[in-house]
Structure 1
Amino acid sequence: MTSTCQQNEARRLDALHKLNLLDTPPSEAFDRITRTAANLFQLPIAAVSLTDSDRQWFKSRVGVGHDSIPRMRAPCGQVADSSEVLVLPDLREDDYYRDSLLAASGIRYYAGAPLITTDGHCLGAICVLGTEPRATTEQELAALRDLAGMVMAQIELQHALGRIDAISGLPNRHQFIEDFQDLQLDTAAGEQGLAVLINLATPEQLVHATRAMQSSYLDELVTDAARWLRNTIGPGRRIYHVATAQFMLMSPPGATLEGWLPLVETKMREALAVARSCHVATPSAGVVAFEIGHTDSLAVLRKAQSAAHDAIDSPTHVAVYSQQEDAMYQRRFRLLNDFVTALKSHDQLRLVYQPRIDVASNRCIGAEALLRWNHPELGVIGPAEFIPVIERSGLAQAVTAWVLETALRQQWEWRAAGLAVQVSVNVSPVNLIEPGFAGSVADALARHRLPANCLELEITESAIMEQPAKAHATLAAIAALGVGLAIDDFGTGYSSLAYLQKMPADVVKIDQSFVRELENDVRRQALVRAMITLSQDLGHRVVAEGVENSAVLDFLRRAGCEEVQGYLFAAPLEAQAFANYSCPISTRALRVPKLTLSPRTTAVLPL
């Protein structure tokens, strides 16, 4: 609770400071409202009081000689904390305020109404004070609230919180919020409303266009879209420019989703034709239904944006908000945020180890280590769910570093116990273009006092293709260290032959999607047999993943595959359980005394 209060206070202060109101000169516009408040209540003191972190600063004041007082035990501070009207008929009769600075200076009466932004942050209060106790009528309180609304309107007017976007000429996000609030008041509660958000281009298109074209490109896209929307929608309907390349409009009264959706889809077909002929852009539209009187404007905007993002991959480029899809997105967002904490914890992440089997001898010659996450509230999160989320974020480098550190620490412990193992860590695409990545690998090996040949890095074909020149330079530097390289998920990329002959790789791992149910698929058997032959002709050792039955194993043995792994042999094991697993020394064992495990243990983050 304390943490939440601190976050809310930080956001409130940020909203206040962004307005640049504190310590500014007096303004007649505010003074006029303050004088009106004093005259209305027939009191000698009134002020527009803004609540800073440690003080109450008066933007406008009547009957006050100083421009600020300490926030501690100041009633306006309580108004800022609660966002509610506060009335103190007699400060001397109030247990909390009787010893305050105000009471000591002779103030007996206080009434204050909150100054609240459109985003819900309370900046402070408009207040009236008197030297005698008094009662307050409901009419006076209503008038004080109205005066608070006038102060906020003046703040917005004076600090560029305008209502029209300069480029599109359309009402902006602030106007949408205000009009939505009016809709809630003017329409019968419980009726259905519909909103549609039009996204002019995909995020990737906007990034590429602004990098490759003139800076005026986006302005032209917005201007053309606004003109087309005005002509298409016609007079009498408001269109809102709610984000850089996003527009929002509301349905006419009485519209239903069944009747309005086909119209939106028709207009989107026209928009797509226009956009593709004039701009490198693919617009999409998200439609959301809401209940008038029971829905927040920002919630409608967020849901419409979520639906518009889903619409990018829709055949019609129109999508209706799905609570299920939204829940999945919010879960992914939570997992991404919570994973930051997981990386710093000591009990959420761990590596487990799945045996790798030598086909010729049927013996365990190593293991693949897999990342596991046990969330403190959500429980076990499968890697198929959290790894793709991390891979698309800025956490991929930190995750690789964690896995590398953990795998090398485990390897050192095994070697200290007489087990010599080789650790293989899967790296993400960002690692291959990361400056100094090879150096960080060398530092990790030195820190754990391990030789370079005990480590192998696994790289996917798609990772190499993102920035081939930088990736190859990084791989060459890693190979120069003496660290092994493996091509992971072979066959799922799009440049296998070109890069197989160039990469200094020792191992090729055939993806499990080619191996499962292999025994009943003649075409797949021919493909896997060709993969094995090609890889071996280029000097690579071949590992087949996902072996789950003896028929598949028999085929791979006949095809000449050297290693396999899968549930036919064992599920992933905890570190100690794997150490107890029978792993006789293979012909590839490292020259280390007292070996009871063969050298190939693979630690893989399946990115």
Structure 2
Amino acid sequence: MYRNSFRLTNREIDEAFATRQFRLVFQPKIDLARRTLAGVESFARWQHPQFGVIPPALFLPVLARQGRNQELTRFVLSEAVAQLVRWRASGETATVSINVAPEELADGSLPVSIRLALNAADLDPSRLIVDLPESGLAAEPDRARDTIHALSEIGIGLALECAQEPLIDFTNTDTATLDPTAFQEFKIGGRAIIQFASRIEGTGLGLMRSRLEYATSNQMKTTAVGAETADTVSLLPSLGFEQAQGNAISSPLTPQALLDFDASTAMESLLGHAAQDASQKVQLEEFAPPKADVSDKKSRIQVVRGNAKVELMTQGKTGGQTHVIKLPDPASVTAGKQRDEQTGVPKLSFFTRLQTRFSRTFQA
């Protein structure tokens, strides 16, 4: 209902730019091997006086339909450069990435705007990275090639951002059309990261693998975008990724909050929890069934995780008996990370208590 009734007019957009209702937030990008901050990616947010913070999924399509993507890009560029200048004064050396709309790869004014902004701030061009969408390269390859060449001459970093659905066969593309040496970074993100990370032990990575190999063979840094779970982040290096960003590591932060972000601490906490969760996964084969005369009885173990209970059943020739053990609420899993306030002894985790109750039932 909210989406259907939501309307933004050109007048409101004019006012938003004029009164600086748009602002930038920055999502950390992490070097997975060193667990250090490799850079940040900037995202626009709209603080509307009536609607509050408008999600990008609502206002970006509006700007696109009204042909105002270029205005937003120029605003983001200006704010990103201003942030880099502030960080330079404080000794911060992180790079900042900005996104451009697909149609801007056919816009000859983009390189001019970037060059002017960097020159005005007397800023090292390598501190700025521009993410170029695959869809823009596929739509108008000739004009995109000219824009990429002009951007490369400025000395900024260029990242090739893959589309959710493949539009370009990078391995079979003529280098005269798409020169891989122009790019320093190769970004793959969204649901594909989750899907392929979960299939690491499956039948292979197909397109994902070929694209990662393409990036590596052309000396591009490989970055996973949209890593939303600790398990995914922990698998990324084995997939072939060198860098990662996503809400599992950190949501986009204000410039002030970013000053307090510590990459090493964030990764240690994230991967520590992932390892703990992995060690606590229920593996039924770890539990031996009750000792019984196989000619006379059959045993079954059923774990109903949603209701936090375990059903143990032994069945003989003349009938069966069912034992139901009700366990504490699943929320008490967090107790495994706590210590008794008086003794200092670690409290048993949920799964430790689960195993204990199995053992006691079998011995009864």
TM-score scaled to structure 1, two decimals? 0.40
1:426 to 99, 102, 119: 99
**Are the aligned partners of 1:354 and 1:368 in contact in 2 as well (CA < 8 Å)?**
yes
Question: CA shift at 1:337, angstroms?
Answer: 4.2
Q: Which aligned pairs between 1:345-360 and structure 2 lie closer than 5 A?
A: 345-346=19-20, 348-360=21-33
Distance 1:523 1:382 in 2: 37
* Distance in 2 (alpha carbons) for counterparts of 1:494 and 1:412: 36
Asked if structure 2 preserves the Cα contact closer than 8 Å seen for 1:335 and 1:386, the reply is no
Contact 1:488 1:510 in 2 (8 A): yes
1:331 aligns to 2:11 (yes or no): no
Match of residue 370, structure 1, among 43, 67, 71 = 43
In 2 relative to 1, CA 397–499 (structure 1 residues): closer, same or farther, beyond 3 Å? farther
1:567 lines up with 2:250 in the alignment: no
Number of the residue aligned with 1:439: 112
Q: Does the Cα contact within 8 Å between 1:404 and 1:425 map onto a contact in 2?
A: yes
Question: Which of 514, 537, 545 does residue 192 from structure 2 map onto?
Answer: 514
Unaligned runs of 5+ in 2: 265-364
Distance 1:493 1:342, change over 3 A: farther
Tell me the SS of whatever aligns to 2:237: helix
Residues 525, 336 of structure 1: alpha-carbon distance in 2 compared, 3 angstrom cutoff:
farther
Q: Is the 8 A contact 1:511 1:545 kept in 2?
A: yes
Shift, 1:403, TM fit: 0.2
Residue in 2 that maps onto 1:462:
135
Corresponding residue for residue 210 of structure 1: none
In structure 1, stretches of 5+ residues that fail to align are 1-323, 585-607
| Letter matched to residue 41 of structure 2 | E
Q: Cα distance, 1:583 vs. partner? A: 5.2
Distance 2:87 2:239 in 1: 34
> SS of 2:28's equivalent?
strand
Aligned to 2:260: 580
**CA shift at 1:351, angstroms?**
0.7
C-alpha distance in 2, partners of 1:523/1:492?
20
Deviations 1:512-555 (A, max 9, x none): 12112544333674443333222111221110011122322232
CA contact (8 A) 2:164 2:190 kept: no
Q: Secondary structure at the match of 1:366?
A: strand
Q: Conserved in 2, the CA contact under 8 Å of 1:489 and 1:511?
A: yes
The amino acid across from 2:241 in the alignment is C
Tell me the secondary structure at the aligned position of residue 510 of structure 1. strand
Query: Aligned pair 1:394/2:49, yes or no?
Result: no
Identity across matched positions, percent: 29
Say if 1:546 and 1:565, in contact at 8 Å, map to a contact too.
yes
568-577 or 407-416, which deviates more: 568-577
Amino acid at match of 1:344: A
Describe the shift of the 1:495–1:374 C-alpha distance in structure 2 as closer, same or farther (beyond 3 A).
same
**Could you say which residue in structure 2 is the equivalent of 1:549?**
229
Question: Is the Cα–Cα contact under 8 Å of residues 38 and 95 in structure 2 kept in the other structure?
Answer: no
CA offsets 1:69-101 (integer angstroms, 9 cap, x no match): xxxxxxxxxxxxxxxxxxxxxxxxxxxxxxxxx
C-alpha deviation, 1:419, in angstroms = 0.9
Higher relative contact order (CA 8 A, sep 6+): 2
Are the counterparts in 1 of residues 159 and 183 from structure 2 also a CA contact under 8 Å? yes
Counterpart of 2:248, as a letter, is L
Are the aligned partners of 2:190 and 2:226 in contact in 1 as well (CA < 8 Å)? Answer: yes
Distance change in 2, residues 1:466/1:340 (3 Å):
farther
Alpha-carbon spacing, 1:336–1:494, altered in 2? closer, same or farther (3 Å): farther
CA contact (8 A) 1:517 1:552 kept: no
CA distance in 1 between counterparts of 2:242 and 2:115 reads 29
What is the CA-CA distance between 1:483 and the residue it aligns to?
A: 1.4
Quick check: 2:46–2:53 contact (8 Å CA) kept in 1?
A: yes
Residue pair 2:63, 2:69 contacting (<8 A) in 1 also = yes
Q: How many angstroms apart in 2 are the aligned matches of 1:428 and 1:546? A: 19
Question: Distance in 2 between the 1:335 and 1:354 partners?
Answer: 29
| Higher gyration radius (CA) | 1
Quick check: 1:454–1:483 contact (8 Å CA) kept in 2?
A: yes
For the pair 1:410 / 2:64, whether they are aligned, the reply is no
CA contact (8 A) 1:510 1:545 kept: yes
Q: In the superposition, relative to structure 1, how do residues 370 and 496 fare at CA in structure 2: closer, same or farther (>3 Å)?
A: farther
Partner secondary structure for residue 108 of structure 2 = coil
> Once the 2 structures are TM-superposed, how far is the Cα of residue 582 of structure 1 from its aligned partner?
2.2
8 A Cα contact 2:158 2:183, kept in partner: yes
The one-letter amino acid of 1:567's match is N
Q: Which residue of 1 aligns with 2:179?
A: 502
Q: What amino acid is the match of 1:464?
A: L
Distance 2:204 2:85 in 1: 40
Amino acid in structure 2 at the alignment position of 1:367:
V
* Structure 1 pair 561–499 and aligned structure 2 pair: CA distance change class (3 A): farther
When residues 479 and 336 of structure 1 are mapped into structure 2, their CA distance, relative to the original with a 3 A threshold, is same
* Aligned residue type for 2:100: V
What are the within-5 Å matches in structure 2 for residues 167-186 of structure 1? none
Whole-angstrom CA distance in 1 between matches of 2:94 and 2:110: 23
Q: 1:398 to 1:411 in 2, by over 3 A?
A: same
**Distance (whole Å) between structure 2 residues aligned to residue 519 and residue 469 of structure 1:** 35
| CA offset digits 1:368-414 (Å, max 9, x no partner) | 22111111111221111111221232211111000000000011001
**Offset at residue 571 of structure 1 (A):** 1.4
- Of 157, 165, 170, the match for 1:484: 157
Q: TM-score, normalised by structure 2?
A: 0.65
* Structure 1 Cα separation of the partners of residues 174 and 42 of structure 2: 26
Structure 2 partner of 1:311: none
* Number of the residue aligned with 2:216: 536
Q: Give the aligned residue type for 1:341.
A: E
**Offset of 1:353 from its aligned partner?**
1.2
How many Å separate the matches in 1 of 2:197 and 2:33? 19
Other structure's SS at 1:516 match: helix
